[in-house]
Amino acid sequence: MRYLLLAIILWANPLFAQKNIKIDRSEAKQAYEYLNKIRTNPEKYRRSLQISNINKVTRTKLSWNNKLAKAAEYRAYDMANRNYFDHTNPEGIGPNFYIQEAGYDLNKDWLKRKSNNNFESIAANHESGNDAIDAFIIGHGSPGKMHRKHLLGMDQWNGSLQDVGIGFARVPRGSTYKTYICVIIAKHDW
């Protein structure tokens, strides 16, 4: 909880307000709805998103989870605020830790290392959440198209994930990128 308190202090500190970072919850919700449309009807998006193996897409809807959204918003905000882009913050702390801190209980094995990431996809510099979802799924520059597997549940592990939270941050100035998006798709246990 001390990291969550630190996050709140940093977020509320006027010194950091100079970048005017805005968490865009409307954009995050639109991305969530769009992702579920793709998951439930991949045939419709097969060509535009270059999905050649649609038979592997998990066709179940993800459930919005406010605790995961809180963790995703924090991650997007922190990257924008401290001008980095990575699954671990500059102190080496990864998403699993922040998911647990937000109150979404994870299996203790997933928390053994503070740098662990079993549930997060991140992107930067996309005009909208939907554009970011497209980029994740198309997967240019993503070895093995891991974001596609994660978002569409295209393997046994990712297909078992049920809950989602998305954070979308806009940064008018002071960061390398103008937007940061964090998509966390998780489950409590195996």
Q: Is the pLDDT of residue 17 over 80?
A: no
pLDDT digits (tens, 9 = 90+) for 166-179: 999 999 998 999 99
Q: Are 136 and 151 in contact (CB under 8 A)?
A: yes
Stretch 118-123: mean pLDDT:
97
Residue 48 identity: S
Residue 12 is assigned to a structural domain of this protein: no
Residue 15 is assigned to a structural domain of this protein: no
Q: Work out the pLDDT band at 189, boundaries 50, 70, 90.
A: confident
Q: Is the pLDDT of residue 61 over 80?
A: yes
Residue 85 is assigned to a structural domain of this protein: yes
Q: Work out the pLDDT band at 15, boundaries 50, 70, 90.
A: very low
Residue 38 is assigned to a structural domain of this protein: yes
Q: Is the pLDDT of residue 90 over 80?
A: yes
Tell me the average pLDDT of the chain.
91
Tell me the CATH number at 52.
Answer: 3.40.33.10
Q: Is the pLDDT of residue 148 over 90?
A: yes
Give me the domain span that covers residue 33: 25-186
Q: Work out the pLDDT band at 52, boundaries 50, 70, 90.
A: confident
Which of these, 185, 186, 184, 179, lies nearest to 85 by C-alpha position? 179
Residue 18 is assigned to a structural domain of this protein: no
Dump the DSSP string for the chain.
-HHHHHHHHHHH-GGGGGG--EE-HHHHHHHHHHHHHHHH-HHHHTTTTT-S-GGGS--SPPEE-HHHHHHHHHHHHHHHHHT--SSS-TTS--HHHHHHHTT----GGGGSSTT--SSEEEEES-SSHHHHHHHHHH-TT-GGGHHHHHHHT-SHHHHT--EEEEEEEE-SSSSS-SEEEEEEEE-S--
Count of structural domains within the chain: 1
